[in-house]
Amino acid sequence: MSQAVYVAMSGGVDSSVAAALLKEQGYDVTGVYMKNWSQDVGGFICSWQDDYQDAKRVAVQLGISFRLYDFRKEYRQAVVDYLIKEYQAGRTPNPDIMCNQEIKFKLFLKTALADGADYIATGHYVRRNGDKLLTGLDKTKDQSYFLYRIDHVALLRSLFPIGNYHKTKIRQLAKKYNLVTADKPDSQGICFVGEIGIKEFLTHELGPQQPGPILDQNGQEIGQHDGAIFYTIGQRRGLHIGGGLPYYVTKKEMSKNAVYVTTDLDDPNLWSNQVSLEQLHWINKVPKGTVNCQVRLRYRGPLVASQLKEGVLYLTEAQRGLAAGQSAVLYIGQEVLGGGIMGEIRASCNIEPQSS
């Protein structure tokens, strides 16, 4: 008897091909569309109905069973409320990471196993080797950054069929299988809403924000912002400050509703080589003592040599624009060890001039 796999099908090409590959490999495949969000935001129409229909059409094409799991209530509590709370605190959260931790590899897994699945599968560009999570073969699409908080037990119950492929090959396979999603563009924007930016979403949820001062490196007010909640450390665009040199956000004070900026790209407040990590998570055993590893501090960011000692990450090269609430993901070679949420960002001293 073949093993049962429940595939998270989003209506996109990656998860469609994942389902096709698993069926080809002899698994008893069931496609599942997770209804996490269904609300229109402002002038942006939520695409869930179109995505659901695309996923269902692919399931019919493949001749596999298909289900819908309604996780809207749980998603609101675990992901959306978390996102809003973090932004209100002046931090910069990553909803995709929280979605993977709480929804896909916890709630979806639990529900699928209760319904008779032996495994779940997703269309992530990552690989698994036993109990180890590895980067995807296509380095330009590798999504291991988003999966570092996966539970060890969940990992052993998870399959990642497209992790050994490049994106161009996935498109080719989709056309080979004649899937209706073969030419569907990849989704952009917020993971659960779609084609909308975080500013529009926060405004929809919280209403217009109180304007406040934008202060330069000398403490002089040089402009007004439309809500400190909307700005991220290191941000350059969207400040709407006239003049010659570009400005970069160095700090936010939510209690004062103030945003601080600098024109000096080598301003120590923009750079850090020490970061405290909160909510440390290890996929397998908790390492003892100092951990020598590489760290990725943002999706598609470079891997930086580092040491983790007593909850503090020491970087061999200072990095620009780090923000509390973002994730630091730790690697040794291709293996994802785990990571944590950035807390205190310690400004660097004696920074060598860096090019933009």
The phi and psi torsions of 109 (rounded to 5 degrees) equal: -60, -50
Instruction: Render pLDDT for 47-94 as a digit per residue (tens, 0 to 9).
Output: 889 999 999 999 999 999 999 999 999 999 999 999 999 999 999 999
What is the Rg, in whole angstroms, of the alpha carbon atoms belonging to the chain?
A: 22
Catalytic site includes residue 99: yes
- Is there a domain that residue 201 lies in? no
- Dist CA 129 CA 137 (whole Å): 13
Name the catalytic one among 46, 191, 293, 349: 191
Instruction: Render pLDDT for 106-136 as a digit per residue (tens, 0 to 9).
Output: 999 999 999 999 999 999 999 999 999 999 9
Instruction: Render pLDDT for 252-278 as a digit per residue (tens, 0 to 9).
Output: 999 999 999 999 999 999 999 999 999
CATH number of the domain at 95, please: 3.40.50.620
Q: What is the pTM of this model?
A: 0.93
Name the catalytic one among 46, 99, 293, 349: 99
Residues 18 and 166 in one domain: yes
- Dist CA 12 CA 10 (whole Å): 5
Residues 327 and 225 in one domain: no
DSSP labels, 114-137: HTT-SEEE---SEEEETTEEEE-S
Residues 11 and 152 in one domain: yes
Residues 84 and 161 in one domain: yes
Residues 19 and 52 in one domain: yes
Domain that holds residue 133: 4-176
- Is there a domain that residue 356 lies in? no
